[in-house]
Chains A and B, each alone.
Chain A
Amino acid sequence: MSAHTSPAIELRGASKTFRTPSGGLHTAVRGLDLTVERGEFVAVVGPTGCGKSTTLTLVSGLEEPTEGEVLVAGEPVDGVGDKVGFVFQQDATFPWRTVLSNVMAGPRFRGVPKAEAKQRARDWLARVGLAAFEDRYPHQLSGGQRKRVALAATFVNDPEILLMDEPFSALDVQTRALMSDELLELWEGTGASVVFVTHDLEESIALADKVVVMTAGPATVKQVFDIDLPRPRKVESVRLEPRFIEIYREIWESLGEEVRITRERGAAHVA
Chain B
Amino acid sequence: MSPEVLSTPVVDTVKTPDRARTRAQAARRRRLLVNVVRVVLLVAVLGLWEALSRAKVIDPFNFSMPSKIWDQIWTWVTHGTALGSLGEQIWYTLYEALLGWIIGVVAGVLLGIALGRIRLLAEVLGPYIKVLNSIPRIVLAPIFLIWFGLGPSSKVASAVVLVFFPVFFNAFQGAREVDRNLVANARILGASDRRVTLQVVIPSATSWIFTSLHVSFGFALIGAIVGEYIGATKGIGLLVSQSQNTFNAAGVYAAMVILAVVALVAEGLLTFAERRIFRWKPTGSDS
Task: Report the minimum CB–CB distance from A102 to chain B (whole Å).
Answer: 10
B281 within 8 Å of A by Cβ?
yes
Q: Do A110 and B185 have beta carbons less than 8 Å apart?
A: no
| Among candidates A85, A90, A137, residue contacting B188 with C-beta atoms closer than 8 Å | A85
Chain A, 89-145, CB within 8 A of any chain B CB: 90-92, 94-98, 105-106, 109-110, 137-139
Q: Do A139 and B185 have beta carbons less than 8 Å apart?
A: no
A153 within 8 Å of B by Cβ?
yes
Question: Which residues of B lie under 8 Å from residue A96 when comparing CB positions?
Answer: 203-204, 206, 280
Question: Which residues of A lie under 8 Å from residue B200 when comparing CB positions?
Answer: 94
Q: How far is the CA of A247 from the CA of B210 in the complex (A)?
A: 56
Q: Do A80 and B280 have beta carbons less than 8 Å apart?
A: no
Q: Do A95 and B281 have beta carbons less than 8 Å apart?
A: yes
Q: How far is the CA of A95 from the CA of B181 in the complex (A)?
A: 12
Chain B, 242-287, CB within 8 A of any chain A CB: 279-282
Would A80 and B187 be within 8 Å (CB), given that A94-B200, A94-B203, A96-B203 are in contact? yes
Q: Do A106 and B189 have beta carbons less than 8 Å apart?
A: yes
Interface size class of B (residues with CB under 8 A): 20 to 34
Which residue from chain A places its CB closest to the CB of B283 in the assembled complex? Answer: A139
Chain B, 83-109, CB within 8 A of any chain A CB: none
A245 within 8 Å of B by Cβ?
no
Chain B, 166-219, CB within 8 A of any chain A CB: 179, 181-182, 184-192, 195, 199-200, 203-204, 206
Q: How far is the CA of A228 from the CA of B62 in the complex (A)?
A: 94
Q: Do A86 and B182 have beta carbons less than 8 Å apart?
A: no
Q: Do B189 and A105 have beta carbons less than 8 Å apart?
A: yes
Q: How far is the CA of A60 from the CA of B199 in the complex (A)?
A: 21
Which residue from chain B places its CB closest to the CB of A136 in the assembled complex? Answer: B280
Interface of B is mostly: helix
Would A157 and B189 be within 8 Å (CB), given that A86-B184, A92-B182, A94-B203 are in contact? yes
Q: Do B190 and A86 have beta carbons less than 8 Å apart?
A: no
Q: How far is the CA of A19 from the CA of B14 in the complex (A)?
A: 67
Q: Do B280 and A97 have beta carbons less than 8 Å apart?
A: yes
Q: Do B184 and A62 have beta carbons less than 8 Å apart?
A: yes
Q: How far is the CA of A7 from the CA of B195 in the complex (A)?
A: 32
Which residue from chain B places its CB closest to the CB of A153 in the assembled complex? Answer: B189
Q: Do A109 and B191 have beta carbons less than 8 Å apart?
A: yes
Which residue from chain B places its CB closest to the CB of A89 in the assembled complex? Answer: B181
| Among candidates A82, A86, A98, A137, residue contacting B185 with C-beta atoms closer than 8 Å | A86
Q: Do B188 and A80 have beta carbons less than 8 Å apart?
A: yes
Question: Which residues of B lie under 8 Å from residue A106 when comparing CB positions?
Answer: 189-190
Q: How far is the CA of A154 from the CA of B189 in the complex (A)?
A: 7
Q: How far is the CA of A258 from the CA of B111 in the complex (A)?
A: 49
Question: Which residues of B lie under 8 Å from residue A110 when comparing CB positions?
Answer: 189-190
Residue interface bits A50-80, CB-to-B below 8 A is 1, else 0: 0000000000101000000000000000001
| Among candidates B179, B189, B279, residue contacting A109 with C-beta atoms closer than 8 Å | B189
Q: Do B186 and A139 have beta carbons less than 8 Å apart?
A: no
Question: Which residues of B lie under 8 Å from residue A137 when comparing CB positions?
Answer: 279-280
Most chain-A Cβ atoms within 10 A of its Cβ — which of B187, B192, B195, B280? Answer: B280
Task: Report the minimum CB–CB distance from B200 to chain A (whole Å).
Answer: 7
Residue interface bits B11-29, CB-to-A below 8 A is 1, else 0: 0000000000000000000
Question: Which residues of A lie under 8 Å from residue B185 when comparing CB positions?
Answer: 86, 88, 92
Q: Do A139 and B282 have beta carbons less than 8 Å apart?
A: yes
Question: Which residues of A lie under 8 Å from residue B184 when comparing CB positions?
Answer: 62, 86, 88, 92
Which residue from chain A places its CB closest to the CB of B277 in the assembled complex? Answer: A96
Task: Report the minimum CB–CB distance from B204 to chain A (whole Å).
Answer: 8
Q: How far is the CA of A156 from the CA of B281 in the complex (A)?
A: 25
Q: How far is the CA of A157 from the CA of B188 in the complex (A)?
A: 10
A84 within 8 Å of B by Cβ?
yes
Task: Report the minimum CB–CB distance from A246 to chain B (whole Å).
Answer: 37
Q: How far is the CA of A154 from the CA of B250 in the complex (A)?
A: 67
Question: Which residues of B lie under 8 Å from residue A85 when comparing CB positions?
Answer: 188
Which residue from chain B places its CB closest to the CB of A63 in the assembled complex? Answer: B184
Q: How far is the CA of A86 from the CA of B282 in the complex (A)?
A: 26
Would A139 and B189 be within 8 Å (CB), given that A88-B184, A92-B181, A92-B182 are in contact? no
Task: Report the minimum CB–CB distance from B12 to chain A (whole Å).
Answer: 30
Q: How far is the CA of A203 from the CA of B56 in the complex (A)?
A: 84
Question: Which residues of B lie under 8 Å from residue A95 when comparing CB positions?
Answer: 280-281
Task: Report the minimum CB–CB distance from B8 to chain A (whole Å).
Answer: 33
Q: Do A109 and B186 have beta carbons less than 8 Å apart?
A: yes
Shortest Cβ-Cβ A-B pairs, 5 listed: A92-B185, A109-B190, A106-B189, A110-B190, A86-B188
B interface residue numbers (CB < 8 A to A): 179, 181-182, 184-192, 195, 199-200, 203-204, 206, 279-282
Give 14 A-B pairs besides A80-B187, A95-B281, A109-B195 with Cβ atoms closer than 8 angstroms: A62-B187, A62-B188, A82-B190, A86-B184, A88-B185, A94-B200, A105-B189, A105-B191, A105-B199, A106-B190, A109-B189, A139-B281, A139-B282, A154-B189
* CB<8 Å pairs between A and B, sample of 6: A88-B181, A92-B181, A95-B280, A109-B189, A137-B279, A138-B280
